[in-house]
Amino acid sequence: MKVHHFHEYWPNHSHRVALAAALLLLLPAFSPNLFAPLGRAFPSIFSEWNAPKSMHFHLFKAALQHPISVQQQRSLWSPLAHQGWRPCLDVEEPKDVPSLSLKKSKGYIQVFLDGGLNQQKMGICDAVAVAKILNATLVIPHLDVNPVWQDSSSFAEIFDVDHFISVLRDEVSIVKELPGELSWSTREYYATGIRATRIKTAPVHASADWYLENVLPVLQSYGVVAIAPFSHRLTFNNLPLNIQRLRCKVNFQALDFVPHIKELGETLVHRLRFPSSENQILGTEHVQEGNNEVKMQGAGKYVVLHLRFDKDMAAHSACDFGGGKAEKLALAKYRQVLWQGRVLNSQFTDNELRNQGRCPLTPEEIGLLLAALGFSNSTRLYLASHKVYGGEARISALRKLFPLMEDKKGLSSSEERERVEGKASLLAAVDYFVSMHSDIFISASPGNMHNALVGHRALLNLKTIRPNMGLLSQLFLNKSMEWSEFQQAVLNGHKSRQGQIRLRKEKQSIYTYPAPDCMCPS
């Protein structure tokens, strides 16, 4: 009788490894529910397997070789001419309103703010305005932990509290915490049940009258009121001028970052403007030889690019980004994990979405835009981003166009970043500081950071380039377009998108369009 050994029926080690790998790849497709929790906890485990391919190779190749004139560089780097507007942040009280010292506060207001740094900033400004409307004392706002950013930083860890209170002392009464008899009013207290002192029904863009009719009675009855949710809970329309200017005063003067954020920001700005000889040698290794006069136009200057291209944005857009089938499957799985497949524009094809200008610009596309605008490969480019989808493989095309591209990690040591590392809001605050001190700011796609910096830089008449998404979508869909035609179309389409003052229209944000509410003709 023949004896069969076990190894005759079971594959050898290499076969077993191959079989296990195949099962690992196939299981998510057949049992997505099994892997949903893993995808949420470790979103990179079943991620992209192929590096993205160039979607515009013809233009990219031309961009690497395109010549730039001295005249184009002068125009690009020259500051904006005075536009006839200046900041007006002094809050003038109506003549029939008594001064703050003569008023008696009607109670304390608490707000709990969600979102990233710039959404929280807007909420803080609105909270001050609501406290003013109600003649209430504002408790330093509580910043909730955002499920996306996962940052537990408090107001005092981001903003200078004493400066905040001091700047606004003549406008609104502000305290760091509730008095002892009201110390029961906490975030935990409101999370465990329905409370009479919590307002959950504040509509988006509520009017001043809504707060007077619905919040003031609660404030007068209990001496304290908590408003949550509070994001975007105050209108931009039909408010007195003193309230509008107060909101701008909070945003542009009172909200100052804590010293260690500013110190790190100043260090980064200095290293961008005055790179050391060692860094200069390392950075210019791949910079092409060219006209020295062209290089001199950008000497000591830098541009900040907010590359808003994270995985959430890529997944939510339902667009194709050159990663092939593997990327499409990975993004589809990610959508299923985060939004149970609910992506409003997923019924459109990629071409339809691009025709509508609804696809965020990839690093390659924003690089082509910058090159067409006249930025040379000797430009010092600071990358302000949370986390770029696809990592270095995705950024490589941009880095080939701009080899002097820098970020926080490349410009500073781990010791210098110790107090901000791993904290999304603090890292965003550093990027905000560096962006505000740049010669030019450009954001790859609209968002809260883009909107906040557009408004702040408009107030100070600083150059800010806003990509024309509709135009760029059409240009990138034309695969036969030559570089000269592409460049001319980009230049023509961005002449009036470089920081020119745009007056706020109805329903638009005062934080993005500070004129005319918070600026005066000069």
Backbone angles phi, psi at 357, to 5 degrees: 70, 35
| In a domain? residue 442 | yes
Angle at CA 478, nearest 5°, toward 473 and 479? Answer: 125
| In a domain? residue 488 | yes
Please, are residues 430 and 265 in contact by the beta-carbon 8 Å criterion? yes
Q: Same domain, yes or no, for 234 and 306? A: no
Is the alpha carbon torsion for 321, 326, 328, 334 positive or negative?
Answer: negative
Q: What does DSSP say about strands 519-521 and 85-87: parallel, antiparallel, or unpaired?
A: antiparallel
Q: Same domain, yes or no, for 373 and 432? A: yes
Q: Report the candidate in 84, 143, 82 with the shortest Cα–Cα distance to residue 110.
A: 143
* Final residue before a domain boundary, out of 256, 285, 318: 256
| In a domain? residue 369 | yes
| In a domain? residue 6 | no
Range of the domain at 205: 108-256
Angle at CA 160, nearest 5°, toward 159 and 162? Answer: 140
| In a domain? residue 290 | no
Q: Same domain, yes or no, for 268 and 346? A: yes
- Predicted structure pTM score: 0.85
* The one-letter amino acid at 203: P
Q: Output the pLDDT for position 28.
A: 44
| In a domain? residue 44 | no
Q: Same domain, yes or no, for 123 and 79? A: no
The number of domains in the chain is: 2
List b or e across 276-286, with b for residues whose CB sees 16 or more CB atoms inside 10 angstroms: eeeeeeebeee
Classify the phi-psi angles of 393: left when phi > 0, otherwise alpha if psi is within -120 to 50, otherwise beta: alpha
Q: Same domain, yes or no, for 480 and 346? A: yes
Taking CA atoms, 74 is separated from 68, 298, 373, 448, in Å, by 11, 9, 12, 30
Q: Same domain, yes or no, for 388 and 489? A: yes
Please, are residues 211 and 183 in contact by the beta-carbon 8 Å criterion? no
Q: Same domain, yes or no, for 356 and 488? A: yes
* The one-letter amino acid at 207: S
Q: Output the pLDDT for position 11.
A: 45
Contacts of residue 483, Cβ cutoff 8 Å, sequence gap at least 6: 59, 62, 63, 66
Please, are residues 359 and 473 in contact by the beta-carbon 8 Å criterion? yes
Give the model confidence (pLDDT) of 330-370 as tens digits.
Answer: 888 887 777 666 665 567 777 888 877 788 888 999 999 99
Q: Same domain, yes or no, for 77 and 177? A: no
Q: Same domain, yes or no, for 128 and 214? A: yes
> What string of DSSP letters covers 504-519?
PPTT--TTT--TTTTE
Radius of gyration in angstroms for the set of CA atoms belonging to the chain, rounded to a whole number: 26
Please, are residues 161 and 174 in contact by the beta-carbon 8 Å criterion? no
Q: Output the pLDDT for position 102.
A: 52
Q: Same domain, yes or no, for 354 and 210? A: no
Q: Output the pLDDT for position 394.
A: 87
| In a domain? residue 132 | yes
Q: Same domain, yes or no, for 426 and 510? A: yes
Low-confidence ranges of the chain (pLDDT < 50): 1-11, 13-14, 17-49, 278-286
| In a domain? residue 144 | yes
Q: Output the pLDDT for position 356.
A: 78
Tell me how far apart the alpha carbons of residues 234 and 133 are, in angstroms, rounded to a whole number: 11
What CATH number is attached to the domain comprising 146? 3.40.50
Q: Same domain, yes or no, for 481 and 373? A: yes
Q: Report the candidate in 131, 87, 129, 123 with the shortest Cα–Cα distance to residue 517.
A: 87
How many C-beta atoms surround the C-beta of residue 165 within 10 A?
A: 17
Tell me how far apart the alpha carbons of residues 244 and 338 are, in angstroms, rounded to a whole number: 37
Q: Output the pLDDT for position 3.
A: 44
